[in-house]
């Protein structure tokens, strides 16, 4: 598969690069960013996949989180894909709402028209993008996954569903129980239909109830987050983990909100967490 480099910046001795490519899964052109630490010049390195939230692109995390410094120290690559398919032919919300359509792919495989032509973000993140990264960059098959808000939902769902593919999972302010949250209900109804049984495969709480294989999980949540009780509901996830003895650490952080100020404050601890589980 052909990839085209569109930007390149040196950072902490490594390289931040942006690429675009034609996605076979999403039927459109996609963009992703990758940070390669200095160590990647000499040998393959493990990869953290970062999934961003509603309205974001590959640029938000790479420009705002300040992750490159610690990734360079740990010898870890970071891959940040876009949050949804893009392009003139890609379906969008009729009212251009921020929580549906472009920028709101929800990391699932849509089954309803017109969304099912392009909105296959689950398959893109789990299969197509890693294959592309591993074929074109000096990385190993060691993977971790993390994300924020809608991306935190994606990281949890993808990690729980594919425990053999990821050594660890983390999330900031994730949508933990989207089947019962306004953002999730709206997106799932449009993308998957009204049968809630079809939603369970993309709900972290439902997946955790059934989880057999254990993958270490770290979740950070600000207690001043305006979405905490209505959209995110992290204690629902934590209660399930506690009940079955699953290795999930929910940390409530006093005074922090939903912003990248929060992410930047704790991203170093998340990268070090993932580094512990890379072989």
The active-site residue, picked from 58, 220, 225, 270, is 225
Residue 225 known to be catalytic = yes
Residue 149 known to be catalytic = yes
Question: How many beta carbons lie within 10 A of that of residue 63, not counting itself?
Answer: 13
SS3 of 13-44: the string is CEEEEEEEEEECCCCEEEEEEEEECHHHHCCC
With beta carbons less than 8 A apart as the criterion, state whether 35 and 67 touch.
Answer: yes
The active-site residue, picked from 118, 148, 258, 274, is 258
Instruction: Round to whole Å and give the CA distance between 83 and 16.
Output: 18
Instruction: Round to whole Å and give the CA distance between 189 and 89.
Output: 21
> Which backbone phi and psi does 252 adopt, to 5 degrees?
-85, 120
Q: Which pair of structure tokens corresponds to residue 233?
A: 């509901």
For 17, 180, 239, the CA distances from 168, given in Å and listed in that order, are: 24, 26, 20
Instruction: Round to whole Å and give the CA distance between 170 and 66.
Output: 17
Question: How many beta carbons lie within 10 A of that of residue 276, not counting itself?
Answer: 11
Instruction: Round to whole Å and give the CA distance between 278 and 181.
Output: 33
Its sign, for the CA torsion 14, 260, 22, 107, is positive
Residue 226 known to be catalytic = no
Beta-carbon contacts of 42 under 8 Å, excluding residues fewer than 6 positions away, are none
The active-site residue, picked from 23, 84, 146, 149, is 149
Beta-carbon contacts of 65 under 8 Å, excluding residues fewer than 6 positions away, are 260, 263, 264, 267
Q: Which residues are designated catalytic?
A: 149, 225, 258
């Amino acid at each position: 598969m052909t990839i085209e480099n569109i930007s390149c910046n040196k950072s902490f001795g490594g390289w931040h690069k942006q690429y675009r490519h034609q996605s076979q899964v999403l039927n459109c052109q996609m963009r992703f960013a990758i940070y390669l630490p200095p160590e990647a010049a000499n040998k393959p390195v493990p990869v953290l996949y970062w999934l961003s939230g509603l309205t974001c692109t590959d640029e938000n995390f790479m420009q705002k989180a300040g992750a490159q410094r610690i990734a360079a120290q740990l010898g870890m690559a970071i891959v940040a894909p876009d949050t949804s398919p893009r392009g003139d032919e890609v379906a969008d919300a009729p009212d251009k709402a921020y929580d549906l359509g472009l920028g709101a792919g929800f990391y699932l495989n849509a089954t309803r028209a017109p969304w099912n032509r392009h909105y296959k973000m689950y398959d893109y993140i789990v299969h197509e993008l890693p294959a592309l990264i591993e074929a074109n960059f000096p990385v190993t098959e060691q993977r971790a996954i993390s994300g924020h808000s809608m991306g935190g939902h994606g990281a949890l769902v993808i990690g729980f569903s594919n425990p053999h593919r990821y050594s660890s999972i983390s999330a900031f302010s994730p949508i933990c129980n989207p089947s019962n949250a306004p953002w999730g209900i709206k997106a799932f109804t449009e993308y998957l239909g009204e049968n809630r049984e079809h939603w369970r495969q993309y709900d972290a709480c439902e997946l955790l109830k059934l989880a057999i294989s254990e993958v270490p999980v770290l979740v950070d949540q600000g207690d001043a987050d305006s979405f905490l009780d209505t959209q995110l509901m992290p204690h629902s996830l934590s209660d399930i983990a506690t009940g079955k003895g699953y290795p999930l650490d929910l940390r409530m952080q006093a005074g922090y909100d939903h912003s990248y100020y929060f992410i930047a404050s704790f991203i170093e601890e998340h990268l070090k967490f993932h580094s512990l589980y890379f072989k």
